[in-house]
Amino acid sequence: MGNTVLLGPPGAGKGTQAERLCAARKLVHLSTGDLLRAAVAAGTDLGVEAKGYMDRGELVPDGLVLRLLDARLAEPGESEGFLLDGFPRNVAQAKALENVLGQGAIEHVVYLQLDDAEILGRLLQRGRPDDKEDVIKNRLSVYRADTEPLVAYYRERELLRPVDGLGTVDEVAGRVLGALAPEDVA
């Protein structure tokens, strides 16, 4: 299976499903959220700069995110491809990704859908520092404004694979596999 993007609102279960999908397929998991949190924890210059944006529920500026990702994306691997979890987050990042990987390098965009009430409940329960109610609401409005346009962007390119994110982790994982091209499903 080739390069795959996991798209969806904050808290839809991208990180959770990414682990399942990488275990089921030979994909390298690349989560910009995880990379950013690691930079924050390590106290790097980039992490210090990113932290304020994350604490407010805003997107970290594209230049910082791309600096984190560039080297990783350029590394040739033994895997079948990357599973990009939480990246791209806006159209500019999608175009940057095409520049790095080349046109046509994305095979599937799995679009995890979940309603706001369920998202709020899951994130309040998760309880990360950026999981406070006002921050979650800001993340949702940033998602609508900046990230949701990617749904149309990838639908036009016939890459979008919509998946209902409501249900148990196993149920959603089954739907994710079912949404991928039949030849990719064992």
161 binds ligand B4P (CB under 6 A): no
Stretch that binds ligand B4P, among 7-15, 22-30, 71-79, 100-108 (CB under 6 A): 7-15
When binding is defined by CB under 6 A, the residue of 172, 176, 179, 180 that contacts ligand B4P is 172
What residues pair up with 164 in beta bridges, in sequence order? 113
Residue 170: enclosing H or E segment and its boundaries? helix 169-179
Task: Write down the least CB distance from residue 183 to ligand B4P, Å.
Answer: 26
When binding is defined by CB under 6 A, the residue of 53, 101, 132, 174 that contacts ligand B4P is 53
Specify the residue, 53 or 78, whose C-beta has the smaller distance to ligand B4P.
53
CA nearest to 76, candidates 100, 59, 43: 100
Query: Residue 87 has which token pair?
Result: 């990246």
Q: What is the DSSP secondary-structure string of 60-83?
A: PPHHHHHHHHHHHHHS--SSSEEE
Q: Which long-range contacts (CB under 8 A, 24 or more apart) does 102-105 make?
A: 105/2, 105/3
Specify the residue, 47 or 86, whose C-beta has the smaller distance to ligand B4P.
86
Site string for ligand B4P, 24-43 (x = CB under 6 A): --------xx--x-------
DSSP class of residue 143 equals I
- Ramachandran angles phi, psi of 110, nearest 5°: -85, 120
Specify the residue, 22 or 54, whose C-beta has the smaller distance to ligand B4P.
54
- Residue list 78-137, contact with ligand B4P (CB under 6 A): 86-87, 89, 93, 122, 126, 130
185 binds ligand B4P (CB under 6 A): no
Task: Write down the least CB distance from residue 95 to ligand B4P, Å.
Answer: 13
Question: How far apart (Å, rounded) are the C-alpha atoms in residues 140 and 147?
Answer: 10
133-142 helix and 116-126 helix, angle to the nearest 10 degrees: 130
Footprint on this chain of ligand B4P (rule: CB under 6 A): 8, 10-16, 32-33, 36, 53-54, 57, 59-60, 65, 86-87, 89, 93, 122, 126, 130, 139, 167-169, 172
